[in-house]
Copies of this chain bind each other. A is one copy, B any other.
Amino acid sequence: MNAGVSTDIVNRSTADCSLWLSERAAHIETMLDQWIAPSPGTSELLHEAMRYAVLGGGKRIRAALVYAAAKACVGSPTVAVELATDRAAAAVELIHAYSLVHDDLPCMDNDVLRRGKPTVHIKFGEAMALLAGDALQPLAYELLSDMPISPALIVQATAMLARSSGAHGMAGGQAIDLLSVGKQLNRDALQNMHMLKTGALLMGSVALGGIVAGASSQQRQALDRYASAMGLAFQVVDDVLDVTADTTKLGKTAGKDAAENKPTYVSLLGLDEAIALSRQLHETATQAILPFGEPGRWLAGLADFIVLRDH
């Protein structure tokens, strides 16, 4: 196979994956739209803030990882597994959305722009933004508890989401990030921070896909290897894009990390080394999922998408 053919295959596969990703993003949007709804006597404004935080944007990478991992483990899912996968995918998007709302608050990153729109606290006020974020968390667990699969798998999914997003996962990483502003972290410390802050929920998303699909332990191990590499790659690419992309494309303020003196892979390794690291992690991830064969194609496509994206 010559280089030209290989590039062509990569391009075609990336285009396929972009289509699939758009279709999945539209699907999960419909599901989320249906599941974030007020009932009589509850606050409509709170639900409006929750919907504003969750709907109408985002690449839905986490939801896509749930779908892709489930698909890799069970090529032809039953209706029950499909319904469960929708709920698990929605759950990780709700957790991701709550973390963005709280991250944007004045006491944290004090961001006014997110996905090109005013942030939740700019639109609804700080108190309502705080509550909206708070209320998105239990909704995620409620959706998991409503999955039409065996209770034992639901319990595993609940534990996975809780660990991925809590003090030993995402929230723990955010705390380390908060305390590391202006500090020089070594590579291990930086990697640990990112594996918690961004990696944990990405890895949790892949693991959730395996759980809802009733993956074998061998399948789960392959998913874990893929997820560890991609969890880190995602952040390395984010750091690279913070330097190389412009604000319009990112939909958030570019160059913000450097301006705030936050440690990044680019500041630690330099731009070229950071890009090389992302390519190496991409290779590790794609190797890990070879045993899945064709059903693993969306996982492979997402690896391409995450590492080769320009925003």
Question: A residues engaging B (CB < 8 A)?
Answer: 38-39, 41-43, 45-47, 50, 98-99, 102, 105, 107-108, 125-128, 130-131, 133-135, 137-139, 141-142, 144-146, 150-152, 154-156, 158-159, 161-163, 165-169, 171-172, 174-176, 178-179, 192, 196
Assess whether B145 is in contact with A46, with CB atoms less than 8 Å apart.
no
Q: Which of B42, B146, B192, B196 contacts A159 (CB 8 A)?
A: B146
A128 engages B175 (CB within 8 Å): yes
Contact, CB under 8 Å: B42 / A102 = no
The interface residues of chain B lying within 8 Å CB-to-CB of A141 are 141, 158-159, 161-162
Residue among A152, A161, A175, A192 with the highest chain B CB neighbour number at 10 A: A175
Q: Which of A126, A138, A161, A165 has the most CB of B within 10 A?
A: A138
> What are 22 A-B interface contacts by the 8 Å CB criterion?
A38-B167, A41-B192, A42-B172, A45-B179, A98-B134, A102-B134, A107-B127, A107-B130, A133-B134, A134-B134, A137-B138, A137-B166, A138-B162, A138-B166, A138-B169, A138-B171, A139-B167, A142-B159, A145-B155, A146-B159, A151-B151, A151-B154
Residue numbers in B under 8 Å from A45 (CB-CB): 175, 179
* B144 with A158: CB separation less than 8 A: yes
Those 3 A-B pairs whose CB atoms lie nearest each other, nearest first: A138-B166, A151-B151, A107-B126
Q: Given the known inter-chain contacts A141-B162, A159-B145, A162-B139, please indicate yes or no for A42 contacting B167, CB distance below 8 A.
A: yes
Residues of B within 8 A of A196 (CB): 41-42
Q: Given A43-B167, A176-B43, verify A145-B162 contact (CB < 8 Å).
A: yes
Q: Decide: A135 and B43 in contact? CB cutoff 8 A.
A: no
